[in-house]
Amino acid sequence: MDFLPTLWFILIAVLWTGYLFLEGFDLGVGMLIKVFARDEKERRLLLNTVGPVWDGNEVWLLTAGGATFAAFPFWYASLFSALYIPLVFVLLGLIFRAVAFEYRGKVHSDTWRTVWDWAIALGSFVAAFGIGAMLALTTTGLPLNENGDRVGGPFAWFTWYAVLGGLAVVGFCLVHASAFLALKTDGEVRIRARRLVARWLPLGLLPLAAWVIALAVLNGKWFSWLLIAVAVAAAVAAWVANSKDREGFSFLAMGLFLVVGSAAIFSAVFPVVLPSTLNAAWNLTVENASSSAYTLRLMSIVAAVGVPLVLAYQAWTYWIFRKRISVDHLPEPHDFAPAVGLSAAAPSAGVTGGAV
């Protein structure tokens, strides 16, 4: 077993897990803006729980993509080109979501805000679903030929596994976001978020559990079952902690569930990084898909410096904005009259002068 490609496989698994852990809750909060928040104040509250951090969270996706390109170019090329259509939707979802976060509050009209609310909710949903589908297909395989190109047309990737993966990530994001909101907010929203976790946790995590179990059955590695047992225990712990009003513990247990579940997924397929459903000989593996040892060494040095730094300053950001917020903390939104363009009414009205 080559050491460096294996190390990079693990690192990419870590990046994806980090992405799902962090953006998991802001994608979920994005979806909840349409189903959980009851009025304008609550919608703004939800947005502001993730306001300072969502952009930083999203970079985990870019880094996972970039790291795959650098360390496993064949994996990156085959996966991204085979999933062309779903990735276009993911991109559109992420574009709308990002722009909506920033632009929603910039004009004070109900129509304007409603449009951007839908952009946030649908954008978050489509991105979460698409990324889930992509990750699931990475583990169950795509119809790839000898060169790693998809055969069978633009929708050849569409299988039940894609749907399962999509639901898995959407479900996880919703539950994770509820736990996050229970941790980050105060007042009535906090109580409702806690109730949401209590009711929906078992159902929301079910598709992810199904995916993990399917992989364990398909690949039959004993330690997968061990990890699954830990994941189930973590989910139960999250649920129990939530019912005892221990939001911090509940959120961390959700995180543990994700980490262990994702470890089960990635370890089940290893050393294959992208199976071909047509011929096992065409599978992309850590060995045949990776960059040269020189590039991997260079990237390892960069990662050794960069990853701890990122973790440190992102942790600092969360520390700075650690306080719970409630609707009472939100300043009133303010509109403004244009200082120019008031036509001829304004000139000379109440102008005072003085030489300088």
Partner 1 sequence: MDPLDIARWQFGIVTVYHFLMVPLTIGLGTLVAILQTTWLRTGKEEYLRMTKFWGKLFLINFIMGVATGIVQEFQFGMAWSEYSRFVGDVFGAPLAMEALLAFFVESTFLGLWIFGWKKLPPRIHLACLWIAVAGSIVSAYFILVANSWMQHPVGVEMLEGRPVMVDAWAVFTNNTALVAFFHTITGALAVAGGFLLGISWYQLWRRRKDGIDTVGANGRVVVGSSDSIPGRDKRDHAMWIKSLRIGAVVAMIAFAGSAISGDLSGKLMFEQQPMKMAAAEAACHDGTSFSILSIGDVGSRDCSDVVAVMEVPGLLSFLAHNDFTTEIKGVNTLVPEYQAKYGTHLPDDPMLGERAGTEINYVPIMAVTYWGFRMMIGFGGLAAMAAGVALFLTRKGTVPASKGLMRLALVGIMAPFGANAAGWIFTEMGRQPFVVAPNPAMSGIDQVFMFTAAAVSPGVSGGEVIFSLVALTTVYAVLLVVEVVLLTKYIRGGVVSAMPELGHGPDKGDGDGGTHPGGPEADDDVLAFAY
Burial 24-47 (b: 16+ CB within 10 A, else e): bbbbbbbbbbbebbeeeebbbbbb
> What six digits make up the tokens of 86?
């779903």
Q: Exactly one of 230, 233, 252, 330 binds partner 1 (CB under 8 A); which one?
A: 330
Instruction: Give the shortest CB-263-to-partner 1 separation in angstroms.
Output: 22
Q: Exactly one of 191, 210, 240, 346 binds partner 1 (CB under 8 A); which one?
A: 346
Which of 120, 12, 131 has its CA nearest to residue 66? 12
User: Quick check: helix, strand or coil at residue 150?
Assistant: strand
> What six digits make up the tokens of 350?
């109440």
User: Quick check: helix, strand or coil at residue 274?
Assistant: strand
CA distances from 248 to 180, 212, 228, 350 (A): 9, 26, 23, 57
Q: Exactly one of 35, 110, 222, 347 binds partner 1 (CB under 8 A); which one?
A: 347
Identify which range of 158-166, 249-257, 264-272, 311-319 contacts partner 1 by CB under 8 A. Answer: 311-319
Assess 336 for contact with partner 1 (CB under 8 A): yes
Task: Looking at residues 4 to 63 of the shown chain, list those that interact with partner 1 (rule: CB under 8 A).
Answer: 44, 47-48, 51-56, 58-59, 61-63
* Eight-state DSSP code of residue 272: E
Task: Looking at residues 143 to 162 of the shown chain, list those that interact with partner 1 (rule: CB under 8 A).
Answer: 145, 147-151, 153-154
Task: Looking at residues 103 to 142 of the shown chain, list those that interact with partner 1 (rule: CB under 8 A).
Answer: 103-107
C-beta closer to partner 1: residue 80 or 200: 80
Instruction: Give the shortest CB-185-to-partner 1 separation in angstroms.
Output: 11
C-beta closer to partner 1: residue 281 or 352: 352
Residue written as tokens 């959700």? Answer: 254
Helix or strand (DSSP H, E) at 266: helix 247-269
> In terms of residues, how long is the chain?
356
Size of the site for partner 1 (CB under 8 A): 97
Q: Exactly one of 7, 80, 195, 218 binds partner 1 (CB under 8 A); which one?
A: 80
Q: Exactly one of 34, 65, 163, 230 binds partner 1 (CB under 8 A); which one?
A: 65
Instruction: Give the shortest CB-251-to-partner 1 separation in angstroms.
Output: 18
Residue written as tokens 């992102």? Answer: 314
Helix or strand (DSSP H, E) at 284: strand 284-285
Q: Exactly one of 3, 38, 102, 245 binds partner 1 (CB under 8 A); which one?
A: 102
Asked if 13 and 263 touch (Cβ cutoff 8 Å), the reply is yes
Residues 270-299: x where in contact with partner 1 by CB under 8 A, - otherwise, as a string: ---------------------xx-xx--xx
Assess 92 for contact with partner 1 (CB under 8 A): yes
C-beta closer to partner 1: residue 74 or 239: 74
Between CA 190 and CA 146 the distance in angstroms is 53
C-beta closer to partner 1: residue 151 or 203: 151
Instruction: Give the shortest CB-32-to-partner 1 separation in angstroms.
Output: 15
Which of 112, 162, 126 has its CA nearest to residue 141? 162
C-beta closer to partner 1: residue 23 or 268: 23
Asked if 121 and 34 touch (Cβ cutoff 8 Å), the reply is yes
